[in-house]
């Protein structure tokens, strides 16, 4: 399957900039996919920016241009230093000291449902303290997933999409260029399309009055396989104490999720179910499972603040894993009665869902 071709062009606009003072901007991940929701399209990508010079530069402007099949401009956005509260501040990591590499999250991830996302051109302007500029243009060609599989949701009843993978979600902002993370062996975002799901009661409450962990309505609720597959990982002995072995992630990246199950599906994608309850795992590695088979129960093991299910699709269970989009055939949006089926199958942060 063809996904995109990356083109990087470096142009020096100020003659005072020496030839060795340059940047590279590489889009990430290798396969840039378009998610399609009910009303919008989403391009979930990052940029790995490397300053090859010995000087410090700051991003002063970023322009996005979108082109259609005829290479005609159909959309444009920008961030720059104008205004009393400069828009460029939406990019957290803007300063690039000499000889360094940083990850920058794409600040323009959302587009209209009918926008032709054939070519996206990102034009970066970097400026030093002497107002010298370097401009770099990065082109990406994102593609919609082919042959989308719609899974069955891993929970039943009423569920809040507590945190998804939009621009503001913590799953989206996994900086694998951050030294402590990089030292553990990560060099991609395995949870690029991850979710945190919270079970609600009929009044849309997460827990009873006490608010203790065991009083969350989701605690000890069943978790189900989203599709047929083979169990390739199952960890069952972590306590429900919100702790995890950070150094151990260098050997086992799934240590982050405490009690956790990973299932390999026919298309070679892997579904991961994290923060499960101690001794609730009902499957073991090598076992074949069916869609909607109960595989465990919600807990608070691993890096978890409160009882919820962490769910993601990914390419493997290795440090090199990349996240994959997931769609569900049986989710209904509860904004008013009766609930409305989400035909796209895409759950978004903040949605309250009914699972049918």
Residue 138 lies in a domain: yes
For the chain, where are the alpha helices, taking DSSP H only? 179-182
Gap between the Cα atoms of 31 and 73, Å rounded: 23
Do 127 and 12 lie in a common domain?
yes
191 with 131, same domain?
A: no
Q: Work out the burial of residue 89: count CB atoms within 10 Å of its CB; fewer than 13 is exposed, 13-18 middle, 19 or more buried.
A: exposed
Q: Is residue 2 part of a domain?
A: no
pLDDT recorded at residue 98: 81
> Of the candidates 171, 143, 116, 146, which has an alpha carbon nearest to the alpha carbon of residue 348?
171
- Asked if 166 and 115 sit in the same domain, the reply is no
Considering the domain architecture, whether residues 328 and 204 belong to the same structural domain is answered as: yes
CA distance 337 to 343: 17
CA separation (Å) from 263 to 150, 269, 289, 303, 306?
16, 8, 8, 20, 24
Q: Within a domain: residue 281?
A: yes
Whether residue 188 has a cis bond before it, omega within 30° of 0: no
Q: What pLDDT is recorded for position 126?
A: 93
Does residue 348 lie in a domain region? yes
What distance in Å separates the CA atoms of residue 141 and residue 144, rounded to the nearest whole number? 10
User: Same domain, yes or no, for 107 and 194?
Assistant: no
Domain that includes residue 240, residue range = 150-355
> Could you say which of 88, 118, 144 is where a domain stops?
144
Enter the pTM of the model: 0.91
* Helices and strands in the chain: count of H runs, count of E runs: 1, 28
pLDDT given at position 12: 37
Among 124, 144, 164, where does a domain finish?
Answer: 144
Find the CATH number of the domain harbouring 348.
2.70.70.10
Q: Structurally, how many domains does the chain consist of?
A: 2
pLDDT (tens digit, 0 to 9) for every residue of the chain, 356 residues total?
434 334 444 333 333 333 335 889 999 998 999 999 999 999 999 999 999 988 899 999 999 999 999 999 999 999 999 988 888 988 888 898 888 899 999 999 999 999 999 999 999 999 988 888 899 999 999 999 877 889 999 999 999 999 999 999 999 999 999 999 999 999 999 999 999 999 999 999 999 977 788 899 999 999 999 999 999 999 998 999 998 899 999 999 999 999 999 999 999 999 999 999 999 999 999 999 999 999 999 999 999 999 999 999 999 999 999 999 999 999 999 988 899 999 999 999 999 999 98
Structural domain ending residue among the three candidates 144, 173, 197: 144
Based on the fold, state whether residues 66 and 156 are members of the same structural domain.
no
Any idea which residue has 């083979």 for tokens?
230
Interior CA angle at 206 toward 292 and 336, to 5°? 80
Contacts 24+ apart (CB under 8 A), 76-81: 77/108, 79/107
Q: What are phi and psi of 189, to 5 degrees?
A: -105, 95
Is residue 198 a contact partner of residue 157, using CB atoms and an 8 Å limit? Answer: no
Classify residue 1: in a domain, yes or no.
Answer: no
Evaluate whether residue 103 is within a structural domain: yes
Output the domain CATH number for residue 89.
2.60.40.10
Are residues 127 and 270 both part of a single domain?
no
DSSP 2-39: -----EEEEEE-STTS-TT--EEEEEESSS-EEEE-SS
Cα distance between residue 295 and residue 97, in whole Å: 48
Does residue 266 share a domain with residue 174? yes
Phi/psi at 143 (5° precision): -130, 145
Cis peptide leading into 29, omega within 30 of 0?
yes
130 plus 252 within the same structural domain: no
- Looking at the structure, do residues 140 and 253 belong to the same domain, yes or no? no
Verify that 245 and 275 share a domain, yes or no. Answer: yes
Cα–Cα distance measured from residue 326 to residue 315, given in angstroms and rounded to the nearest whole number: 12
Cα 198 to Cα 200: distance, rounded to the nearest angstrom: 6
Has residue 47 been placed in a domain? yes
Residue 101 falls inside a structural domain = yes
Cβ within 8 Å of residue 84, ≥6 positions away: none
- The verdict on 71 and 161 lying in the same domain is no
């Amino acid at each position: 399957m063809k996904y995109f071709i990356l083109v990087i062009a470096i142009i020096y606009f100020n003659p005072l900039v020496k030839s060795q003072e340059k940047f590279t901007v590489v889009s990430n991940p290798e396969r840039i996919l378009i998610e399609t929701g009910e009303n919008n399209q989403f391009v979930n990508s990052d940029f790995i920016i490397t300053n090859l010079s010995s000087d410090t530069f700051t991003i002063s402007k970023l322009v996005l241009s979108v082109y259609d099949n005829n290479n005609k401009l159909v959309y444009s956005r920008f961030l720059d230093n104008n205004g009393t509260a400069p828009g460029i501040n939406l990019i957290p990591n803007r300063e690039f000291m000499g000889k360094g590499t940083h990850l920058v999250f794409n600040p323009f991830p959302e587009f209209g449902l009918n926008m032709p996302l054939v070519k996206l051109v990102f034009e970066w302007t970097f400026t030093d303290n002497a107002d010298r500029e370097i401009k770099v243009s990065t082109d990406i060609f994102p593609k919609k997933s082919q042959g989308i599989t719609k899974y069955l949701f891993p929970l039943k009843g009423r569920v809040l999409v507590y945190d998804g993978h939009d621009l503001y979600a913590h799953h989206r902002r996994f900086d694998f260029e951050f030294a402590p993370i990089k030292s553990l062996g990560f060099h991609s975002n395995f949870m690029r399309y991850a979710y945190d799901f919270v079970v609600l009661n009929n009044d849309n409450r997460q827990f009873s009055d006490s608010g203790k962990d065991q009083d969350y309505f989701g605690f000890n609720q069943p978790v189900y396989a989203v599709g047929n597959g083979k169990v390739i990982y199952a960890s069952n002995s972590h306590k429900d104490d919100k702790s995890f072995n950070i150094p151990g992630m260098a050997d086992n990246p799934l240590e982050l999720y405490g009690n956790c199950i990973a299932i390999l599906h026919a298309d070679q994608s892997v579904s991961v179910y994290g923060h499960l309850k101690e001794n609730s795992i009902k499957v073991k590695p090598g076992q074949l499972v069916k869609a909607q088979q109960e595989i465990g129960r919600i807990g608070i093991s691993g890096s978890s603040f409160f009882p919820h299910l962490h769910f993601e699709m990914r390419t493997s269970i290795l440090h090199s894993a990349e996240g994959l989009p997931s769609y569900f055939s049986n989710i209904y949006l509860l904004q008013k009665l009766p609930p409305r089926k989400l035909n796209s199958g895409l759950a978004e942060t903040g949605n309250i869902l009914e699972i049918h």
